[in-house]
Structure 1
């Protein structure tokens, strides 16, 4: 059995999806310069460069959650807002997730750092067919809570990420014909930080806006630090 998560299917009501495998697509920028910039900003905190781009990391299906509170070891982690594809076997959805990552562990291994933290998800999904024709227009923004206020952290449109159809086709969970294997949740990459560099934050807010259809998905969550006991 996988991880059963209940979402609101926009315009249709609740849908319960059993997530049975998780994939994190990394280094997915459409522009090579942007990818190199992201590699460089992570190198500043000791993260090794990828062996190839894009890469598909695997994470436990239990990591995906719509909870407003997560728990992570220490206070060295932060979020990354990402478009997320979910296939329940009946249809493909577009959602909004955060590839919450332990920045200290990332310097040792990107794969390990992605596995150790929960992957918060906004509780609303859009039918992929409804947005497939204008994906590049969809905008994602994120904010972190610093010094008592929400500070803009990321801002970009899906035009700066490789086409989702391309990422889907290259995924180890691809089923062909523009679909993922049933029960798959796949995060599809993120944007460079606006200023200040990649850094930990205990509170994260993200939003995905579709101006063509006049709608928005929003979610914020708080991270509780657990002590590291030696």
Structure 2
């Protein structure tokens, strides 16, 4: 069982939260307006990713929680990976929390299977969350952003995505039996220049411009294969004999 030691932002100071979710549901195209997801669908199509459009949106990718990390260093196996800023929901102890995450993705593997790439690649979770009850009144003004190597990569209102209660309704309708505690990565929005980028240093933030309150995460990726001397690196796709 994976247990996360998180902090809940509260007026009197952060409060500790220990959560042991047993499933991660990674969503695709979870926007209020279905056309709002088209720009991101085009940019991943540009790098060879095929989406199962015959499955109703939002598409649900069930994942083992072992693919989630709060570490600030993430190991990958190529230079063709990239982050995606996402609103994250945590259901734990009968309460709903809102956080921020990055659905880091290996774009080469994603061309073969979105599901497999999401299970392999780490979903990075920020260490602080808000109670949904505290941010529900200001949901429409929250902003979701990300950077890559210190340059702005994504920026959108959180309200382009389905509100958290609606997402939980969708899961309740489409998942056979929801566990008592689970995580939801709620999907991403297109980059500001409609182009998938790769890089080493990634950040994501969910912020309230009205008060300055914010949830942040930052991490860097390390290409593990680069640590092996040339000539001794096992290829990602061995040649057929």
After TM superposition, the structure 1 stretch with the greater mean CA deviation from structure 2, 163-172 or 78-87, is: 163-172
What is the alpha-carbon distance in structure 1 between the residues aligned to residue 71 and residue 214 of structure 2?
A: 19
Counterpart in the other structure of 2:169: 169
Counterpart in the other structure of 1:34: 36
Tell me which of 66, 76, 83 is aligned to 1:72: 76
Matched position secondary structure for 1:48: coil
C-alpha offsets along residues 166-225 of structure 1, whole Å, 9 cap, x if unaligned?
A: 2211115989xxxx6422010101110111601222210111112345411111101111
Q: 1:124 to 1:134 in 2, by over 3 A?
A: same
After TM superposition, the structure 1 stretch with the greater mean CA deviation from structure 2, 198-207 or 186-195, is: 198-207
Counterpart in the other structure of 2:144: 140
Counterpart in the other structure of 2:203: 205
Counterpart in the other structure of 2:122: 118
What is the alpha-carbon distance in structure 1 between the residues aligned to residue 31 and residue 163 of structure 2?
A: 9
Matched, 1:55 2:65: no
Structure 2-normalised TM-score?
Answer: 0.85
Matched position secondary structure for 2:36: helix
After TM superposition, the structure 1 stretch with the greater mean CA deviation from structure 2, 155-164 or 208-217, is: 208-217
After TM superposition, the structure 1 stretch with the greater mean CA deviation from structure 2, 32-41 or 2-11, is: 32-41
Matched position secondary structure for 1:135: helix
Matched position secondary structure for 1:206: strand
Residue 20 of structure 1 and its aligned partner are, at CA, apart by 1.2
After TM superposition, the structure 1 stretch with the greater mean CA deviation from structure 2, 151-160 or 208-217, is: 208-217
Structure 1-normalised TM-score?
Answer: 0.89
Asked which structure has the greater CA Rg, the reply is 2
Consecutive aligned runs of 4 or more in structure 1 exceeding 4 Å deviation: 172-175
CA contact (8 A) 2:39 2:194 kept: no
Counterpart in the other structure of 1:195: 193
What is the alpha-carbon distance in structure 2 between the residues aligned to residue 196 and residue 24 of structure 1?
A: 21
Matched, 1:82 2:86: yes
CA contact (8 A) 2:40 2:194 kept: no
The root-mean-square deviation of aligned C-alpha atoms, in Å, is 1.9
Higher strand share: 1
What is the alpha-carbon distance in structure 2 between the residues aligned to residue 172 and residue 202 of structure 1?
A: 37
What is the alpha-carbon distance in structure 2 between the residues aligned to residue 74 and residue 183 of structure 1?
A: 33
What is the alpha-carbon distance in structure 1 between the residues aligned to residue 124 and residue 158 of structure 2?
A: 19
What is the alpha-carbon distance in structure 2 between the residues aligned to residue 124 and residue 217 of structure 1?
A: 6
C-alpha offsets along residues 116-139 of structure 1, whole Å, 9 cap, x if unaligned?
A: 111111110101111122212111
C-alpha offsets along residues 44-87 of structure 1, whole Å, 9 cap, x if unaligned?
A: 11111333311010111112221111111222211101000001
Matched position secondary structure for 2:17: strand
Counterpart in the other structure of 1:100: 104
CA contact (8 A) 2:25 2:185 kept: yes
Residue 32 of structure 1 and its aligned partner are, at CA, apart by 2.8
